[in-house]
Amino acid sequence: GQSLEQPSEVTAVEGAIVQINCTYQTSGFYGLSWYQQHDGGAPTFLSYNALDGLEETGRFSSFLSRSDSYGYLLLQELQMKDSASYFCAVRDKDRDDKIIFGKGTRLHILP
């Protein structure tokens, strides 16, 4: 089976940088994704790492270390609109018919 661990809450200041970590255990592995969800909204895709290293998309970057079963989402130049929940998710390599989400990290941004 699969399990993902991420902090339940993180607080940061507007304009700062924050890192949200995710560790995973899977029977197979097809890649680590990150999703953002605002209150009352649907999860929206942010990034995907299939290989080790850093993927950068504007203010957001995502990192993966397959050997450590670890990844993180890095948010820079935080804006108030970044206040949301962030979910890491994995897809099983052997059966890519299920995406499993972590419990989510609630990001609070202070002015």
Binding site for another protein (CB under 8 A): 30-31, 33, 35, 37, 41-45, 48, 50, 87, 89, 91, 95-104
Closer by beta carbon to another protein, 50 or else 54 = 50
As measured in angstroms, the least distance from the Cβ of 15 to another protein is 28
CB closer to another protein out of 67 and 97: 97
Q: How far is CA 73 from CA 1, 5, 47, 83, 94, in A?
A: 23, 13, 9, 14, 25
Q: CB of 91: closest distance to another protein in angstroms? A: 8
Instruction: Please give the full DSSP string across 63-85, using - where no structure is assigned.
Output: EEETTTTEEEEEE-S--GGG-EE
